[in-house]
Chain A
Amino acid sequence: MDKNDFLKRVREASKNRKVVETPKLDCGVVSAMLEGGAKDAFVKNFTSNHGIVVEDFDALVRVLKDNGCKIGVVDAKMDSTLGLEKHFEITREFDRNIPDAYHFGVSIASKAIGESGSMILKDKDTDDRLTTVAPWVHVAVLKESDIVSTLSDGLDGIIDNAYSIFIGAPSKTSDIEGVLVEGVHGPGVEICYIVK
């Protein structure tokens, strides 16, 4: 259908409809999930959805080893490999011909939200989406100062690039008799590594 005809049709259909002015949003939108500061709320809410938060390098290495990780891919947009190469076999390119060869992927979290316990990943800070979605374990490296308080704060400027995502938990489903299973497509283990 022609664009103008389509839009005209919707315009015509709306003709007799009382239009409500878009309401001003107030603090009533914020849930009780935002207790304590932004960081405390993020840690509490992310971990309550089975995300893992680590705040020092040794703890990160330990969690990765505990999850059987040996080979990892560190996204090319990351400035460094964080020293992970001392403990694991690391590459900087995800080869889609061997997607299951990587036990973990590391990438940048552009922001995180306290209220919803979500990390925000953006394409502008990610070289390859596959690094974040294909390995069983995903680590997002987050600067503590990039944690915002409310969902509204997180949504502010969210469309400053072609693709962003909120990640609040491992990839999960309860489609089979309501039983929760993690790791249905993407990471079964979702780690946020908070750095100063």
Chain B
Amino acid sequence: MALQPIDHFCETLDPHVKKAITAASVGSTNAQKAILERDYPGDKTDHLRSLANAIKGGDLAGNLEKAVASLERNGITVLFAKDGAEARDIIYNIIKEREAKNVVKIKSMTTEEIELNHFLQEKGMDVVETDLGELIIQIENEKPSHIVKPAIHRTRGDIAESFVKHNIAEKYDDNPNHLTLAARKYLREKYFAADVVVSGANYVLAEEGAIVLCTNEGNSRFSMAGAKTHIALVGFEKVIPSAKELAVFLNLLARSATGQTSTAYTDFVAGPGKSKNSPKEMFLVFLDNGRSDILASESAEILKCIRCGACMNRCPVFRLVGGHAYRATYPGPLGIVLSPLLAGDKLATLADLPKACSLCGACGEVCPAKIPLPDLILKNRDKVKKQHIHVPNDINFWPFKLLATTPWMWKSAMAMSKAANFLPLSWIKFGPAGRWFKSRTIPRINGGNFRNWFKKNG
């Protein structure tokens, strides 16, 4: 029986990286819990999560139509892409028509999803990520390992070396303050040279016709002060009814993502800029890329995701392996649900992901949008099974099924179960059982007496 790809990844992961990922994830979960308990005590957090879920469960198609009309009314050119290839072409053509070369990016998972940077760079453009974490991974040609903290897997030493190699810093210095100041200096030149800024959007306000961007670094404002053209790429599920409902999401997002009351900067962009240094034209590209299929499916709830990263911070599997183990843009419980769905007819390539889950249910408990992640993970498992896709380590459960559905067998097994306490299971070093017991123990079996108890007392 072969190992799952995620287990392979875990075995080869540098212990320092593993430790860094675990520490950062555990820290973020604790911070989320503490700040929500402080600011929304009792059942108020749950109430807020229910509101978020209900708002996102509204008339998405109607809100999208309204958003398009409002955005256009505000002077924004709205375009539509059915998939990543079309979105990349649209964005490239806008840039090419302006004979532009210098592009600054504001962190966006949607642009990661369509691999925009790589595409534009191949066309000869200078594309620079302005979020520090994104810059750190971009210069090493890596993908984000977390949707909020993309460079969670990199140590300060790695970053210092990489900054020297790519001429961002003159000499090796691994002090985070100095590294950040070196990036500040490097990015300033990029902001002022930029022709085009490409962003995503955390939300689109249907009634007002605006996009909302949440950042801590303020790279969004700087990018939108330097460049002349702004292009936003947005999944259509980001539309919410109006600014009124936004309060719910702003109150949840930063608390769930980084344990802060709010992000340091929240930008509201409702058209080409009117002040001196600001983009004089704005395009918004709505992306489908499989979303409408998801909307029509029994997994539509995943489209309510606000990309906070809380589910991955809380996930015991993610904490051991980090985001690269998931081989797709979206990692963790979110990714286990979303990535195979976005893969469409290439489901087989990611069919093992729904198994990279212990079904502990913790992700569903921390999700601020109250998405039933464990149920959706099970739905994906079911889909893989129904399509007869074989995944590594696919244990055949028929013996257990037989045992569990044959009362006399079950009764005898229960009666004998305590014998397992005396088996030297940790001595097994080979095969699937050996791999299993290498990092796991089973608790002592103390049960098996319920039937007797029930006969007497029931």
Q: Which residues of A contact B (CB under 8 A)?
A: 1-3, 5-7, 9-23, 25, 28-29, 31-33, 45, 49, 94, 96, 99-100, 116-118, 123-124, 126-130, 132-134, 150-152, 155-156, 158-159, 161-179, 181, 183-187
Contact with A along B283-321 (1 / 0, CB 8 A): 000101000110110001000000000000000000000
B378 to chain A, nearest CB (A): 20
Complex interface: chain B residues within 8 A of A18 (CB): 57
Excluding A162-B271, A169-B216, A175-B151, 7 further A-B contacts by CB distance (< 8 Å) are A1-B82, A6-B286, A14-B59, A45-B261, A168-B262, A168-B264, A186-B217
Q: Roughly how many angstroms separate A158 CA and B209 CA in the complex, as a whole number?
A: 12
Binds A, one of B43-51, B322-330, B381-389: B43-51
Tell me if B221 counts as interface (CB < 8 A to partner A). Answer: yes
What are 26 of the A-B contact pairs (CB < 8 Å)?
A5-B80, A7-B61, A9-B82, A10-B60, A10-B292, A22-B54, A22-B241, A23-B51, A28-B44, A31-B40, A99-B188, A150-B247, A161-B270, A163-B267, A163-B268, A163-B271, A163-B274, A168-B262, A171-B219, A172-B264, A174-B149, A176-B132, A177-B155, A181-B180, A184-B219, A186-B222
Tell me if B74 counts as interface (CB < 8 A to partner A). Answer: yes
Tell whether, in the assembled complex, residue B48 and residue A28 are in contact, meaning their CB atoms are under 8 Å apart. Answer: yes
A162 to chain B, nearest CB (A): 4
A35 to chain B, nearest CB (A): 11
B408 to chain A, nearest CB (A): 45
Cβ contact of A128, chosen from B65, B130, B275, cutoff 8 A: B275
Tell whether, in the assembled complex, residue B216 and residue A155 are in contact, meaning their CB atoms are under 8 Å apart. Answer: no
Cβ contact of B224, chosen from A11, A129, A179, cutoff 8 A: A129
Tell me if B13 counts as interface (CB < 8 A to partner A). Answer: no
Q: Roughly how many angstroms separate A151 CA and B274 CA in the complex, as a whole number?
A: 25
Q: Roughly how many angstroms separate A181 CA and B241 CA in the complex, as a whole number?
A: 36
Complex interface: chain B residues within 8 A of A19 (CB): 57-59
A1 to chain B, nearest CB (A): 4
Tell whether, in the assembled complex, residue A184 and residue B265 are in contact, meaning their CB atoms are under 8 Å apart. Answer: no
User: Do A17 and B176 contact each other (CB < 8 Å), given the known contacts A31-B39, A123-B275?
Assistant: no
User: Do A179 and B243 contact each other (CB < 8 Å), given the known contacts A158-B268, A163-B270?
Assistant: no
Q: Roughly how many angstroms separate A110 CA and B300 CA in the complex, as a whole number?
A: 40
Tell whether, in the assembled complex, residue B136 and residue A175 are in contact, meaning their CB atoms are under 8 Å apart. Answer: yes
Contact with A along B49-93 (1 / 0, CB 8 A): 001001101111100110010000011001011100010000000
Most buried by B among A10, A45, A133, A187: A10
Complex interface: chain A residues within 8 A of B245 (CB): 22, 25
Tell whether, in the assembled complex, residue B51 and residue A133 are in contact, meaning their CB atoms are under 8 Å apart. Answer: no
Q: Which residue of B lies closest to A166 (CB)?
A: B266
Tell whether, in the assembled complex, residue B243 and residue A17 are in contact, meaning their CB atoms are under 8 Å apart. Answer: no
User: Do A184 and B180 contact each other (CB < 8 Å), given the known contacts A32-B40, A168-B264?
Assistant: yes
Tell whether, in the assembled complex, residue B222 and residue A134 are in contact, meaning their CB atoms are under 8 Å apart. Answer: yes
B248 to chain A, nearest CB (A): 6
A152 to chain B, nearest CB (A): 5
Q: Roughly how many angstroms separate A132 CA and B300 CA in the complex, as a whole number?
A: 41
Tell whether, in the assembled complex, residue B130 and residue A185 are in contact, meaning their CB atoms are under 8 Å apart. Answer: yes
User: Do A99 and B218 contact each other (CB < 8 Å), given the known contacts A2-B80, A28-B51, A129-B273?
Assistant: no
Q: How large is the interface on B (under 10, 10 to 19, 20 to 34, 35 or more residues)?
A: 35 or more
A158 to chain B, nearest CB (A): 5
Tell whether, in the assembled complex, residue B39 and residue A163 are in contact, meaning their CB atoms are under 8 Å apart. Answer: no
User: Do A13 and B210 contact each other (CB < 8 Å), given the known contacts A163-B275, A177-B155?
Assistant: no
Tell me if B455 counts as interface (CB < 8 A to partner A). Answer: no
Tell me if B24 counts as interface (CB < 8 A to partner A). Answer: yes
Q: Roughly how many angstroms separate A113 CA and B47 CA in the complex, as a whole number?
A: 23
Cβ contact of B132, chosen from A150, A151, A173, cutoff 8 A: A173
Complex interface: chain B residues within 8 A of A28 (CB): 44, 47-48, 51
Complex interface: chain B residues within 8 A of A22 (CB): 54-55, 58, 241, 245
Most buried by A among B86, B247, B296: B247
Q: Roughly how many angstroms separate A178 CA and B41 CA in the complex, as a whole number?
A: 27
Cβ contact of A165, chosen from B177, B221, B293, cutoff 8 A: B221
B206 to chain A, nearest CB (A): 11
A-B contact count (CB 8 A): 270
Q: Roughly how many angstroms separate A64 CA and B130 CA in the complex, as a whole number?
A: 28
Which residues of chain B from 326 to 346 have any CB-CB distance to chain A below 8 Å in the complex?
A: none
Tell whether, in the assembled complex, residue B149 and residue A10 are in contact, meaning their CB atoms are under 8 Å apart. Answer: no
User: Do A3 and B78 contact each other (CB < 8 Å), given the known contacts A32-B38, A168-B264, A177-B155?
Assistant: yes
Most buried by A among B218, B219, B295: B218
Tell me if B347 counts as interface (CB < 8 A to partner A). Answer: no
A43 to chain B, nearest CB (A): 14
Tell whether, in the assembled complex, residue A152 and residue B264 are in contact, meaning their CB atoms are under 8 Å apart. Answer: no
Complex interface: chain A residues within 8 A of B4 (CB): none
Complex interface: chain A residues within 8 A of B86 (CB): 1
Tell whether, in the assembled complex, residue B288 and residue A6 are in contact, meaning their CB atoms are under 8 Å apart. Answer: yes
The 6 closest A-B CB pairs, nearest first, are A175-B133, A159-B208, A20-B57, A171-B218, A6-B80, A129-B225
Tell me if B250 counts as interface (CB < 8 A to partner A). Answer: yes
Q: Roughly how many angstroms separate A159 CA and B81 CA in the complex, as a whole number?
A: 26
Q: Which residue of B lies closest to A3 (CB)?
A: B80
Q: Roughly how many angstroms separate A50 CA and B424 CA in the complex, as a whole number?
A: 57
Tell whether, in the assembled complex, residue B266 and residue A176 are in contact, meaning their CB atoms are under 8 Å apart. Answer: no
A23 to chain B, nearest CB (A): 5
Which residues of chain B from 122 to 141 have any CB-CB distance to chain A below 8 Å in the complex?
A: 130-133, 136
Tell whether, in the assembled complex, residue B277 and residue A49 are in contact, meaning their CB atoms are under 8 Å apart. Answer: no
Tell whether, in the assembled complex, residue A117 and residue B261 are in contact, meaning their CB atoms are under 8 Å apart. Answer: yes
Q: Roughly how many angstroms separate A12 CA and B85 CA in the complex, as a whole number?
A: 23
Q: Which residue of A lies closest to B221 (CB)?
A: A133
Q: Roughly how many angstroms separate A150 CA and B250 CA in the complex, as a whole number?
A: 12
Tell whether, in the assembled complex, residue B222 and residue A3 are in contact, meaning their CB atoms are under 8 Å apart. Answer: no
Q: Roughly how many angstroms separate A151 CA and B54 CA in the complex, as a whole number?
A: 20
User: Do A10 and B270 contact each other (CB < 8 Å), given the known contacts A159-B209, A184-B180?
Assistant: no
Tell me if B100 counts as interface (CB < 8 A to partner A). Answer: no
B338 to chain A, nearest CB (A): 16
Tell whether, in the assembled complex, residue B179 and residue A176 are in contact, meaning their CB atoms are under 8 Å apart. Answer: yes
